[in-house]
Amino acid sequence: DTGLVAFDPSFGSTASCRSSITYIDGDAGVLLYRGYPIEALAERSTYLEVAYLLLFGELPSAAQLRTFVHDITYHTMVHEQISRFYGAFPKDSHPMAVLLGVVGALSAFYPDSTDVFDEDQRLISVYRLLAKMPTIAAMAHKNSIGQPFVYPLNRLEYSENFLHMMFSVPAEPYEMNPVFAKALNALLIIQADHEQNASTSTVRTVGSSRANPFACIAAGIASLWGPLHGGANEAVLTMLQEIGTRERIPEFIAKAKDRNDPFRLMGFGHRVYRSYDPRAKVMQKICDELLSELGDGDDPLLALARDLEKSVLADDYFAERKLYPNVDYYSGIVMRALNIPTAMFTPIFAVARTAGWLAQWTEMIQDPEQRISRPRQLYTGPLRRDYVPLDQRP
Ligand code: SDX
């Protein structure tokens, strides 16, 4: 009941940790943030309200939420010198490379953040990261398309502000689409935390050496970038575009089943869920609502995603391996409908996951029994042997 597990060869996972933040029942397809089902939170909360819940353990009162939103909002701008970093990146840099570099560099702007046991320092770093991630991500996008950076507008809600920084241009007023902001808000909420996944475990491991929070979040960004983790949403869209038509689905299903072929169906399978990822269901609902609002209900890529899903769910190979659509399967289609460029899919996942990374990092730092992470190994190398001088080697 302590939640601690030893090395589990069948799972390949090392000892975990105690946490009271997120609960997953992989067999039942249940995901709770501090006991609340993500379905209800995605439907009725804002992302910052959920960030508060993850960080402090309770849903905020109206007054607490007002203060929290105010405190975050007044940190949304980045130091003007930060904008110089962007000019140093090659024009076609992947925005995750930019996010990784710029967030890590924030460590240099806030030297006091290294005192991780000073509660005030910890809190201001949490506010700065929650506030600045959308700004830094949007600046990476603007830099990649040669448009001027757009400063945050404090009167806008978090998701609206991100869309504004991504899409508005100084030359004309930006028409905020509330349907887009609502869909993005739900997308950020269901990706906000997910227990001890690869990137969160990375944040905890780096944080266990008492590295500053900006370095920890930069490490989380690096891990999330991988196509088997947060990079999967971008890979799903690329895969669907490569499949192209429903006639080619059997060809890709066969590739995915071929043990000699490294190809995997992006957006399917999960280390923990052995049933439908509840987030995939929420994402599918957002997809339907968004596309019908936009009159894009017959988006060919959505139709293809539906057909592929049907084929996979009907195939014993995947059923035996309990391979179901995961959070990334429909999120790419939702973001495409929001006119978000594919390269920005994973940075948006990173913006969302920042709340979870920070909540998990804070929980670890506050744990009095917390020690430096030091996983052990199963040694498979040679036993002790004598040194062979160079002139005696074959
Ligand atoms: C995320 O951990 C988290 O919580 C992550 C995440 C989060 O919120 O943080 O939920 C976000 O990362 C979601 C996952 C996104 N990744 C993808 O969609 C990439 C495609 N999926 C796979 O690569 C895979 O399913 C993983 C990486 C997600 C999970 O890998 P596992 O659990 O280690 O599964 P496995 O590699 O042990 O596979 C078990 C079997 C194997 O076949 P056999 O050797 O038993 O014959 O299932 C097969 C695999 O070949 N398999 C797949 C497959 N996923 C597993 N075959 C085809 N296509 C796939 N997608």
ipTM of the complex: 0.88
322: region left, alpha or beta (phi > 0 left; psi from -120 to 50 alpha): left
How many angstroms separate the alpha carbon of residue 32 from the centre of ligand 1? Answer: 21
b/e per residue, 15-37, with b = 16+ CB within 10 A? ebbebebbebebeebebbbbebe
Print burial letters for 259-282: b (CB count within 10 Å at least 16), e (below 16). eeeeebbbbbbbebbbebbbbbbb
**Tens-binned pLDDT, residue by residue, of the chain (394 aa):** 334 443 344 444 444 688 999 999 999 999 999 999 999 999 999 999 999 999 999 999 999 999 999 999 999 999 999 999 999 999 889 999 999 999 999 999 998 888 989 999 999 999 999 999 999 999 999 999 999 999 999 999 999 999 999 999 999 988 999 999 999 999 999 999 999 999 999 999 999 999 999 999 999 999 999 988 998 898 999 999 999 999 999 999 999 999 899 999 999 999 889 888 999 999 989 988 888 888 766 778 888 998 999 999 999 999 999 999 998 998 988 998 899 999 999 999 999 999 999 999 999 999 998 899 998 999 999 999 999 999 999 9
> 16 C-alpha to center of ligand 1: Å?
19
User: Residues near ligand 1 with C-beta < 6 Å?
Assistant: 194, 197, 228-229, 232, 256, 264-272, 321, 323, 326-328
The Cα–Cα gap between 70 and 64 comes to 10
CB 243 within 8 A of CB 125: no
Catalytic residue list: 270, 328
> What's the CA-to-centroid distance between 188 and ligand 1, angstroms?
22
